[in-house]
Amino acid sequence: MERMEGKEVTSAINVDMNRRGFLKGAALSALGIAGMGALAGCGQAKSANSSSSDDSSKAAEEFKADETREADIVVVGAGAAGMMAAHVAAQGGAKVVILEKGADYSAPNGMYVSGPFAVGTDVLQNKEGGTTLTVDDAFYHVMEYSHWTPNPALLRRCLEESKNAVAELEGIGYTFKETNFRFETPFVGEKGGFHLITIPSDERVKLWESSVEADGIDIQFDTEFVSLVVDDKGKVTGANCTKSKKNITYNCKAVIMCAGGYLGNRDLQERFLHTRKLNVARGGDSICTGDTILAAEAAGAALDKTFGYCPCEYGGTNSLASRPAKQDKFDQNTAFKFGLYGCLLVDAEGKRFINEGLLCDYPMSYGSEQIILNAPWYAVVDQAYVDAMKTQGLYEYTTAKGATSENWFIGNYFKDRVLENLDSDIEEGIKEGWCYKANTLKELGEFFGLTDLEETVAQYNKYCDAGVDAEFGTNPWYLSKVATPPFYVTQNEPSAWSTFGGVRTDDNCNVLKAEDNTPMPGLYAAGTDSGSLYYSPYYDVPGFCYGLCIDSGYISATEALEYIKKA
């Protein structure tokens, strides 16, 4: 990053032609693109890889400001958590500045999400029949699901405040409809909890533009956060950033970090998730590169122990693909559906590694953990399966094998979703190098180096014939024999809407010190920058990621306001 000379800020601490041969050339030719940033959930990346906390600390020590500005509260990031935090803080009378790396309001994920999970809202109270959902219902479910791993006091407080966070969104013009999600979830019918946002993304942007203006918030786009300013007593007193090649220090009383995690940083993916294969559900390049997490760590903050991701539920991706699976309403290569539809899945050795049906039934929770641990994973099908998907589709194919609305909750989602373009999509995948077609399983396995594929298929076909998966218990309607040549294999990589894991916080969203777990005065974290909110695998409650983002944004602003009154 370019630095400009100027006034130095003191006390700043920061922060044979088989597939492997084929891909070697492809990877080298794509290196210039791949090196520009990991793929996008939060916007367009300017830097794909922040390096380490040591580099962040060095950057802070060397930071020299060309300009110094004043604020009460600096919010880093204009996503769901950041916008909520800024709004609540400004409503409370604070002079608020938002530092956003993206070019405009459309950069962060928060403008595109389906909606939050919340308890006790007017939306739930006013729905037909009302609601029986309580904070206790949601709290004990997620804590038991997560084996009491996240911060229990913080989780309970988020659920208690969720009605207030939704009310704040309603106050600026958001409208909601309580509805069931397409996945089987613990809260449906008389309980509910998922709040579908009923206004399109472009209108949400306009609402926030009006709100920011009315609140008197100073939002700085195209601005990269660099480091925290910490005084000799360990109190956070400012934020360093760069904009248009100018180094700027904001002196302030509190900083709220809401920069959206580290999806756009392959180095941090490797450090926290032990993979470099996690792509971005929205496509493109991500601006979420973990800058706030690294800066806080360099300043002495503790990191929490849980790291994970919010998976894309629409199928696999691959860095070589021109049309990876995003959302079904967008153009995508439908051959990636093989990685999601419950057919035979194998790891890099050609061995099964999962109950394949879980990935179809619960792609964001139970099915998601093994695919990132085994990335890339491979879907294997035969010609009979391909023909069925392009003429019948998954719904007709699966219900003919015994799936019903009673035992296959997600089934209705696949009605009329026939993969009519599958032949051309497969050909595209073959040309791009992530799909292969062969007349024998031996040749199929050799292309991707799947040494145990033939043995695996032989055993899997026995399960199919018996109608019972004696290894992993996959439901019989998903068991699809691989017997009719030619055979097909797709190489799949996972993608995400965001990452989870970051700094440790208390129930006030106050960041804690690594040294003794006491609060760092003046520093707060909300949304996916907080390591104390989430669990891996992701919760089985639709809207919980976004819900926790707005809830923690609300809490962090409330607490920061109380703190600056005493500062």
Condensed to tens digits (0 to 9), the pLDDT of residues 393-408 reads 999 999 999 999 889 9
Q: How confident is the model at residue 4 (pLDDT cuts 50, 70, 90)?
A: very low
Token pair of 310 as six digits: 């919010």
Alpha helices per DSSP H over 401-531: 422-432, 441-448, 453-466
Percent of the chain with pLDDT over 70: 89
Helix H or strand E encompassing 456: helix 453-466
Tell me how many degrees the CA angle 232-552-368 measures, rounded to the nearest 5: 115
Q: Tell me, what's the pLDDT at 58?
A: 60
Mean pLDDT (the chain, rounded): 89
At residue 48 the predicted structure's pLDDT band, cuts being 50, 70 and 90, is very low
Is pLDDT at 45 greater than 50 in this prediction? no
- Beta strands 377-382 and 344-346 are antiparallel
Per-residue pLDDT, averaged over 324-345, amounts to 90
Does 3.50.50.60 match the CATH number of domain 67-109+200-309+498-566?
yes
Q: How confident is the model at residue 7, as a pLDDT? A: 32
Query: How far are the Cα atoms of 139, 478, 490, 491 from residue 444, in angstroms, in the given order?
Result: 47, 22, 10, 12
Q: Which of 101, 94, 98, 100 has its CA nearest to residue 253?
A: 94
Given this model, what pLDDT does residue 400 score? 96
Q: Where in the chain is the domain with CATH 3.50.50.60?
A: 67-109+200-309+498-566
Poorest-pLDDT segment among 42-56, 81-95, 430-444, 536-550: 42-56
Indicate the pTM of the whole model: 0.88
Q: Residue 506 pLDDT more than 50?
A: yes
Q: Where in the chain is the domain with CATH 3.90.700.10?
A: 313-493
Mean pLDDT over 219-226 rounds to 98
In this structure, which amino acid lies at residue 523?
L
Answer CATH for 313-493 from 3.40.640.10, 3.20.20.70, 3.90.700.10, 3.40.50.1820: 3.90.700.10
Say if residue 17's pLDDT is above 60: no
pLDDT bucket at 473, cuts 50 / 70 / 90? very high
Q: With contact defined as beta carbons under 8 Å apart, do 252 and 224 qualify?
A: no
What SS3 class is residue 272? Answer: helix
Q: What is the mean pLDDT of residues 252-267?
A: 97
